[in-house]
Amino acid sequence: MLALEFIGDGSTQVTATELALTLQNDLAQIAFVEERFDEFAAAHSMPKDVKNKMGVIFDDLLNNIISYGYTDSGEHEIGVRVRLRDGRLYRHHLG
């Protein structure tokens, strides 16, 4: 089990923003997800350690999904959705 919580500085009211991506089951696509998350993290002033931990999470989960999640060699879409709500970061669905 893996858990990560980012709690903002408390200066925001009830707000929610989301990063939603779709990628192909290609290991090269992991860098795309990490780059988009880096931009998302910067836009929301997330600490570097949170950004780095999420990079490890994306790398590990996407590697496993792409490498072991399909019984055929065809192309498949993988959805990634991260939500920032009230200063908390949630990963809703991956795979």
- The number of beta carbons lying within 10 Å of the beta carbon of residue 4 is 13
34 residue type, one letter: E
Q: What is the pLDDT of residues 11-29, one digit of tens each?
A: 444 456 899 999 999 999 9
Q: Quick check: 9 pLDDT over 90?
A: no
Mean pLDDT of 59-83: 92
Q: Whole-structure pTM over 0.85, yes or no?
A: no
pLDDT at 37: 94
Query: What's the mean pLDDT when you consider all of the chain?
Result: 82
Structure tokens at 91: 């990963």
Q: Which residue has the tokens 């931990």?
A: 53
Q: Which residue has the tokens 């779709």?
A: 22
Kindly state the helix (H) or strand (E) to which residue 68 belongs, with its residue range.
helix 48-68
